[in-house]
Amino acid sequence: MAEILWAPWRMTYIEKSSSGKSEGDIFVQLPAEHDDAKNLILFRGTTAFVMMNAYPYTNGHLLVAPYRQVADIEGLDDTELLELNQLVAKSVRWLKGCYGPDGFNIGVNLGRAAGAGIPMHIHWHIVPRWNGDTNFMTSVGNVRVMPQSLQESYVKIKEVSERDA
């Protein structure tokens, strides 16, 4: 008998992806709502912020973005570049404190051709990785198993980030 994996939060992503409708710029919209827990915003800096990816590759997948809508890295000023990099470093420290990963993938997709889902707003992905985290589910079934809900991850990372502040 086949096992059933339950990931109800993925349906929103699937429906948005298949509709072809653009979600807009979440990196402008969500911080403006000032509902950080609902929008998974973990930390607000002066020019940039850290939030959880609502459609993560692994538990603890974070995004770091400037408040200002900028598409390319050369459009960022020195203050933004400094704070963005500081927030990437803090994010790594927080994730080490929460999950103890064996490594990280950290990157930026510049432009739709490079895989950017929101090409009009540059953002960094911080993805914690563990030895052996790519198993048969990912390799054969193209399925990811998320052992912790987004809300549980948010609370855990938020607690570590607040202690680190």
Q: Which of 34, 61, 121, 123 is catalytic?
A: 123
Q: Decide: 65 and 124 in contact? Cβ < 8 Å.
A: yes
Please classify residue 126 by burial: count the beta carbons closer than 10 Å to its beta carbon, then call 0-12 exposed, 13-18 middle and 19+ buried. buried
Told to judge if 123 belongs to the known catalytic residues of this protein, a careful annotator would answer yes
Q: 17-39 as b/e, with b when 16 or more CB fall inside 10 Å?
A: eeeeeeeeebbbebbeeeebeeb
Residue 78, exposed/middle/buried by CB under 10 A (0-12, 13-18, 19+)?
A: exposed
Q: Which residues are catalytic?
A: 123
